[in-house]
């Protein structure tokens, strides 16, 4: 493997930057980097400098989600063991404290650029998938009753039982909820219980407040289902919650309400994928057109991450898949059959459509979701 001679540095800290330049600029090209410019380069080695403004965990997460194989080194002027542990978990390889470890810097960077990168290069795809924190999949629709809660809960359950991944489900329908019905939960706890610790949120807090679906073990942050409590949750809360979840889980499945507000906006922005649920008819298409318009006004970029989930699929649909392809440019992630009787009987009994790996006979909706999840995990 060719030797790397370009080092990217992110984070505004003049003192640290000066000392890095002093140490490394003879041998390497040092390139300052802004988060917005990530896509412009091919990034292999990044030094993250400590700043007051932005958490290195967030920076690392963003970089690794785009460059899962990048080698990250955190450089600080203070020692912080908790942070060191969190960074390590995320996949940051080194943590150096300057000036004490200045002598180590050059040696370590040389070592990395010459040899270690080739071994990182060989790491398995699964590992690459995991680095950079969890993936957020948000289920959205501009139309109520499209099937967001039913399908997102079945998706999360399936992902949980068919993989070893750590999966968290978050119900952001703060006023009305929904997921508890489909997962058969009778919960006294809700995500509002995270309110007092939201500024220092960690996995332990989340696990304490999350409900567990008793068959699959899926962890669920249930909606408070209360208008007054819902109002206390703002976009800052949502951002902190989602970012902390990414640090501790492999997949975070989020159900959001139909109306757009700052909280939904924040969630969509943080999402790796937006699964837009719709049915095969002209009304659904025109609703999606106005959603696209709104997204454009808000500056939400959808064409890279939005996929359609076609629900209520059946013989008597007004439109076909061809029509959808013709009118809309998004990939279709999955087609879910309509099965009124089957779904109803599960909901009435208060049991989830999908419970265990060895479920005897899966109803059509659960089978369609299984097909989708399996193809995704491949
Ligand atoms: N493929 C399907 N087959 C049968 N019933 C379905 C299907 N999809 C959804 N349903 C039913 O339709 C109703 C609405 O679904 P769901 O609550 O998931 O929609 P939603 O998009 O979450 O609605 P809201 O906007 O109110 O949150 C539920 O009773 C659900 O069981
Ligand atoms: Mg719902």
Cα–Cα distance, 317 to 337 (Å, whole number): 11
Q: Are residues 91 and 148 in the same domain?
A: no
Do 171 and 252 form a contact (C-beta atoms < 8 A)? no
| Least confident window among 24-38, 102-116, 286-300 | 102-116
What's this model's pTM, rounded to 2 decimal places?
Answer: 0.74
How remote is the C-alpha of 5 from its chain's centroid? Answer: 32
Work out the pLDDT band at 88, boundaries 50, 70, 90: confident
Tokens of 246: 């990414």
For residues 25 and 216, what is the distance between their CA atoms, to the nearest angstrom?
A: 53
Band the pLDDT of 115: cuts 50, 70, 90: low
**Any residues with CB less than 8 A from the CB of 166 and at least 6 apart, and which?**
134, 248, 249, 250, 251
* 102 burial via Cβ count (<10 Å: 0-12, 13-18, 19+): middle
Nearest protein Cα to ligand 1, atom 18: 147
pLDDT at 103: 81
Which tens digits make up the pLDDT trace of 48-61? 999 988 899 989 98
pLDDT of residue 127: 41
148 in the same domain as 120:
no
Q: How far apart are CA 320 and CA 138, in angstroms?
A: 25
Residue 225 resides in a domain? yes
In this structure, what are the phi and psi dihedrals at residue 275, rounded to the nearest 5 degrees? -95, 110
Q: What is the pLDDT of residue 132?
A: 54
Provide the pLDDT for residue 123: 41
What does the pLDDT read at residue 75? 93
The single-letter DSSP state of residue 188 is S
* Closest CA to ligand 1's atom 9: 147
Ligand 1, atom 2, lies closest to the CA of: 338
Residue 326 lies in a domain: yes
Q: How many CB atoms lie within 10 A of CB 12?
A: 15
Rounded to the nearest 10 degrees, how much is the dihedral formed by the CA atoms of 254, 258, 263, 269? 70
Identify which of 196, 219, 223 has the alpha carbon closest to the alpha carbon of residue 208.
219
The pick from 138, 144, 145, 278 for probing ligand 1's pocket by mutation, whose C-beta has the most ligand atoms within 8 angstroms, reads 145
Mean pLDDT value across residues 156-185 = 95
Q: Distance (Å, rounded) from C-alpha 133 to C-alpha 192?
A: 24
d(CA 10, CA 15): 13
**247 — pLDDT class (breaks 50, 70, 90):** confident
* Dist. CA 1 → ligand 1 center (Å): 52
State whether 49 and 110 are in the same domain.
yes
Mean pLDDT of 200-229: 94
Is the model's pLDDT at 5 over the cut of 90?
no
Across 43-52, 108-117, 192-201, least confident range? 108-117
Is-contact 330 304, C-beta < 8 A?
Answer: no
What number is the average pLDDT over the span 339-359? 95
108 in any annotated domain: yes
Rounded distance from Cα 179 to ligand 1 centre (Å): 11
Which ligand has the shortest distance to the CA of 147?
1
pLDDT for residue 350 is more than 60: yes
Residue 111, domain member (yes or no): yes
pLDDT, greater one: 2 or 305? 305
Q: What is the pLDDT of residue 219?
A: 97
Note the pLDDT of residue 119.
Answer: 47
Determine the distance separating the centroid of ligand 1 and the alpha carbon of 146, expressed in angstroms.
6
Residue 202 lies in a domain: yes
> From atom 23 of ligand 1, which residue's Cα is the shortest distance away?
145
**What is the mean predicted confidence (pLDDT) over 262-271?**
93
Most ligand 1 atoms within 8 A of CB, residue of 147, 152, 346 to mutate? 147
**Confidence at 122, pLDDT banded by 50, 70, 90:** very low
Both tokens assigned to 276: 């837009």
Percent of the chain past pLDDT 70, that is, above it, reads 94
**Where does a domain end: 65, 95, 129?**
129
Contact status, residue 10 vs residue 63, Cβ threshold 8 Å: yes
As a whole number, the mean pLDDT across the chain is 89
Judge whether residue 129 has pLDDT over 60. Answer: no
Minimum CA distance residue for ligand 1 atom 15: 147
Q: Assess whether 114 and 220 both reside in one domain.
A: no
pLDDT of residue 125: 37
Q: Which domain holds residue 192?
A: 134-377
- pLDDT at residue 192 above 80? yes
Cα separation, 173 vs 145, whole angstroms: 13
Own/partner pairs for 283-291, CB < 8 Å, 24+ apart?
283/143, 284/143, 284/146, 285/319, 285/324, 285/327, 285/328, 287/141, 287/142, 287/143, 288/142, 288/328, 290/142, 291/142
* Domain harbouring 279, CATH code: 3.40.50.300
Check pocket membership of 145 for ligand 1, CB cut-off 6 A: yes
Quickly count: other Cβ atoms within 10 Å of residue 65's Cβ.
Answer: 17
Residues 212 and 86 both lie in one domain: no
For residues 91 and 161, membership in a common domain is answered with no
Measured in Å, residue 182 CA sits from the centre of ligand 1 at: 10
Residue 40 has pLDDT above 90, yes or no: no
Q: How much is the average pLDDT of 60-75?
A: 88
What mean pLDDT comes out for the span 209-227? 96
Q: How far is the CA of 211 from the centre of ligand 2 (A)?
A: 18
pLDDT of 128 over the 60 cut: no
Both 40 and 155 in one domain: the answer is: no
Span 167-184, average pLDDT? 96
335-348 pLDDT per residue, tens: 999 999 999 999 99
Give residue 169 CA to ligand 1 midpoint distance, Å: 17
Does residue 97 share a domain with residue 138? no
Q: Is residue 1 part of a domain?
A: no
Higher pLDDT, 122 or 136: 136
User: How many angstroms separate the CA atoms of 115 and 119, rounded?
Assistant: 7
């Amino acid at each position: 493997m060719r030797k790397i001679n370009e080092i990217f540095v992110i984070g505004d800290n003049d003192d640290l930057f000066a000392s890095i330049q002093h140490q490394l600029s003879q041998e390497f090209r040092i390139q300052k980097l802004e988060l917005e410019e990530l896509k412009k380069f091919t990034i292999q080695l990044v030094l993250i400098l400590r700043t007051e403004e932005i958490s290195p965990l967030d920076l690392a997460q963003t970089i690794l989600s785009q460059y899962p194989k990048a080698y990250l080194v955190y450089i600080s002027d203070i020692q912080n063991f908790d942070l060191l542990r969190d960074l390590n978990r995320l996949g940051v390889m080194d943590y150096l404290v300057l000036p004490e470890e200045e002598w180590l810097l050059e040696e370590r960077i040389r070592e990395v650029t010459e040899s270690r990168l080739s071994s990182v290069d060989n790491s398995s795809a699964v590992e690459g998938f995991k680095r950079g924190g969890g993936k957020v999949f948000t289920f959205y629709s501009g139309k109520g009753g499209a099937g967001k809660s039913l399908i997102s809960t079945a998706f999360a359950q399936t992902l949980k039982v068919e993989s070893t991944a750590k999966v968290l489900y978050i119900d952001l329908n703060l006023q009305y909820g929904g997921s508890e019905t489909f997962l058969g939960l009778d919960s006294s706890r809700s995500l509002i219980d995270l309110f007092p610790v939201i500024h220092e949120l960690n996995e332990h807090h989340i696990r304490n407040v999350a409900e567990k679906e008793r068959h699959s073990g899926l962890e669920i942050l249930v909606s408070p289902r209360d208008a007054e409590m819902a109002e206390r949750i703002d976009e800052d809360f949502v951002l902190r919650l989602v970012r902390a979840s990414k640090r501790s889980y492999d997949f975070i499945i989020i159900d959001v309400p139909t109306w757009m507000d700052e909280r939904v906006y924040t969630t969509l922005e943080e999402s790796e994928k937006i699964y837009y649920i719709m049915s095969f008819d002209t009304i659904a298409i025109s609703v999606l057109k106005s959603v696209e318009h709104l997204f454009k006004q808000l500056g939400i970029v959808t064409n890279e991450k939005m996929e359609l989930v076609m629900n209520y699929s059946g013989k008597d649909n007004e439109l076909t898949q061809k029509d959808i392809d013709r009118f809309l440019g998004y990939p279709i992630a999955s087609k879910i059959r309509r099965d009124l009787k089957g779904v109803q009987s599960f909901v009435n009994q208060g049991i989830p459509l999908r419970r265990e790996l060895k479920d005897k006979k899966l109803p059509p909706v659960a089978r369609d979701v299984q097909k989708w999840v399996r193809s995704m995990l491949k």
